[in-house]
Structure 1
Amino acid sequence: MLVLLAGVGAGALNAVGGGGTFVALPALVAAGLPPVTANAAATVALVPGSLSSAWVYRPDVRPVGSTSTRALTAASMGGGAVGAVLLLALPAASFEVAVPWLLAFATVVLAFGRSALRAVSGALGRPLGLSPRAVLVWQFFLSVYGGYFGGAVGILMLAVWSIGVGVDPAAGNPTRVTQVAAVYVAATVLFLFASDVAQAPLLPAVMLVGAVIGGVAGAQVARRLPARVLRGVVLGTAVTMTVVYFLLG
Structure 2
Amino acid sequence: MALSIWEALAVFAAGIGAGTINTIVGSGTLITFPVLLAIGLPPITANVSNTLGLVSGSISGAIGYRRELRGQTRRILRLASTCLLGGLVGAILLLALPSDAFDAIVPVLVGLALLLVLFQPRIAAAVKRRREAKGTQAHPDGGPVLLVGLFLASVYGGYFGAAQGVLYLSLMGLLLSESLQRINAVKNILAALVNGVAAIFFLFVADFDWTAVLLIAVGSTIGGQIGAKVGRRLKPTVLRGVIIAVGVVAIVQLVLR
TM over 0.5, shorter chain:
yes
Q: TM-score, normalised by structure 2?
A: 0.80
Would you say 1:182 and 2:196 are equivalent positions? no
Q: How does 1:29-40 map to 2 (within 5 A)?
A: 29-40=37-48
Measured in 1, the distance between the counterparts of 2:118 and 2:139 equals: 21
Match of 2:165 in 1: 154
Match of 1:46 in 2: 54
Measured in 1, the distance between the counterparts of 2:94 and 2:198 equals: 10
Would you say 1:138 and 2:141 are equivalent positions? no
SS at match of 1:156: helix
Measured in 1, the distance between the counterparts of 2:200 and 2:91 equals: 9
Match of 1:167 in 2: 178
Q: How does 1:40-189 map to 2 (within 5 A)?
A: 40-62=48-70, 68-92=75-99, 94-95=100-101, 98-99=102-103, 102=106, 104-105=107-108, 108=111, 111-126=114-129, 129-130=138-139, 134=144, 135-189=146-200
SS at match of 2:95: helix
Query: Is 1:25–1:39's contact at 8 Å kept on the other side of the alignment?
Result: yes
Query: Is 1:23–1:237's contact at 8 Å kept on the other side of the alignment?
Result: no
Query: Is 1:12–1:216's contact at 8 Å kept on the other side of the alignment?
Result: yes
Query: Is 1:100–1:242's contact at 8 Å kept on the other side of the alignment?
Result: no
Q: Which runs of 5+ in 1 are unaligned?
A: none
The 10-residue stretch of structure 1 (52-61 or 225-234) with the greater mean CA deviation from structure 2: 225-234
**In the TM superposition, what whole-angstrom CA distance separates every residue of 1:75-123 from its partner, at most 9, and x where no partner exists?**
211111111111111123x34xx44763x34653564331132332233
Would you say 1:223 and 2:226 are equivalent positions? no
SS at match of 2:37: helix
Match of 1:27 in 2: 35
Check 1:9–1:146 CA distance in 2 against 1; reply closer, same or farther (3 A cut).
Answer: same
- How far off its partner does 1:231 sit? 5.5
Q: Give identity over the alignment, percent.
A: 36
Match of 2:134 in 1: none
Q: TM-score, normalised by structure 1?
A: 0.82
User: Which residue type is aligned with residue 124 of structure 2?
Assistant: S
- How far off its partner does 1:175 sit? 1.0
